[in-house]
Amino acid sequence: MLSLAFASLTVAFAANADEQSASAVDQLPEGQEVSDTVVELAGWVVASKDSQGYPFAVIDKAAAQILVFGGDGRLRGAAPALLGSAKGDHIAPGVAGLALREIPGRDRTTPAGRFVGGFGPSIDAGRVLWVDYDSAVSIHPTATGVPSEKRPERLASPSPDDNRVTHGCINVSPEFYDQVIRPTFERGGVFYVLPDVMPIAEAFPDFAQSRTSAQRKDGRRARSSGR
């Protein structure tokens, strides 16, 4: 599945799609596809060197997926993720200073955009991988602290519809965290979180501009070839 999803990026990535899929950790549910936007964004990051040689991840909130790439552009792994229970892309003012139970339901969002993050200390969870320290959004393994939330069960579900349950953080399986997340981002990285409602051009203006330019070029080629 991953080799098919990234077949169009063979030139952009450091290895061909078959080699990447053979070495990458694939935890996506059987039959679940990777969106064209994710493929295009990942290809643009590599081609434009937007992550400046650092590893990066693309988080697709609509599909509840996370795809992780090394600094060399190789796909390291893909997996389902749990995300903020509230749909939205905003960061509520002062949310980082609130206890989890104090965050209003409407503000339990996973913000969209480009973030530069890395491992650092937290008040109540030890050393965590911060995606955005200012909004207190991190990636961490799924916990079973609140049984009624059924986070492991939601993560194992083949549908992304029940993956919105966190206070804003991004949860992955403990296995994916240990095998892919922790070693890949040990020295930090860049995180691209696709929006729920925000226009893609607002979340990633440089990517959107590049995609528009490419579409215009394709349109000119189509007109020329039609003569």
CA distance 122 to 20: 34
Q: In order of start, what are the domains of the chain with their CATH numbers?
A: 2-225 (2.40.440.10)
Tokens of 178: 């240990």
pLDDT at residue 147, rounded to an integer: 83
What's 107's DSSP letter? G
* pLDDT tens per residue across span 162-219: 999 998 999 999 999 999 999 999 999 999 999 999 999 999 999 999 988 777 666 5
The helix or strand, by DSSP H or E, that contains position 82, with its residue range, turns out to be none
Q: Please tell me the pTM assigned to this model.
A: 0.86
CA geometry: angle 186, 188, 192, nearest 5 deg: 125
* pLDDT tens per residue across span 47-106: 999 999 999 999 999 999 999 999 999 999 999 999 999 999 988 777 766 667 768 667
Asked if the model's pLDDT at residue 134 lies above 60, the reply is: yes
pLDDT at residue 22, rounded to an integer: 59
End-to-end CA distance of the chain: 38
